[in-house]
Amino acid sequence: MIYVLATMTAVPGKAAELIKGARAAIDATRKEDGCISYDYVQDTENPNILTVVERWTSRAALEAHLQMPHLATWRAARKGLVAKTKVEIIHADKVETI
């Protein structure tokens, strides 16, 4: 199993729009093979910071997810809404930052 922590900093004033736009991607991702869990959380101290906490059965399952059409649609929809993104992939023996 691997974990993914994807942290996005919304453009000020755009967090609600970012969260609303994520709904279709969240719902579709939760149905994918290999997805154990996929949840968005909003920082309680800075509402512009959103973190996606993901659990996948394998790196291969994550790679398949990254090629899904709904994820490409979500990437396009969030343009202009995200100021900064950080993605960490946590394996049992290492952490990748992409």
pLDDT of res. 13: 94
**The CATH number of the domain where 6 resides is what?**
3.30.70.100
| 62 found inside a domain | yes
| 96 found inside a domain | no
| 7 found inside a domain | yes
Could you tell me if 70 and 40 are in contact, meaning their C-beta atoms sit under 8 angstroms apart?
Answer: no
Along the 98 residues of the chain, how does pLDDT read in single tens digits? 999 999 999 999 999 999 998 998 999 999 999 999 999 999 999 999 999 999 999 999 999 999 999 999 999 999 999 999 999 999 989 999 98
In the chain, where do the E strands start and end? 2-10, 35-42, 49-56, 82-90, 95-97
Half-sphere exposure (CA, 13 Å, Cβ side) for 65? 24
Dihedral (Cα; 1, 27, 5, 13), 10-degree rounding:
180
| 34 found inside a domain | yes
| 12 found inside a domain | yes
| 44 found inside a domain | yes
Length of the chain: 98
Domain that holds residue 58: 2-87
**CA 95/CA 63 separation, integer angstroms:** 16
| 95 found inside a domain | no
Count of the separate structural domains present in the chain: 1
Instruction: Give burial (CB, 10 Å; 0-12/13-18/19+) of 10.
Output: buried
| 94 found inside a domain | no
Partners of residue 7 on adjacent β-strands: 51, 86
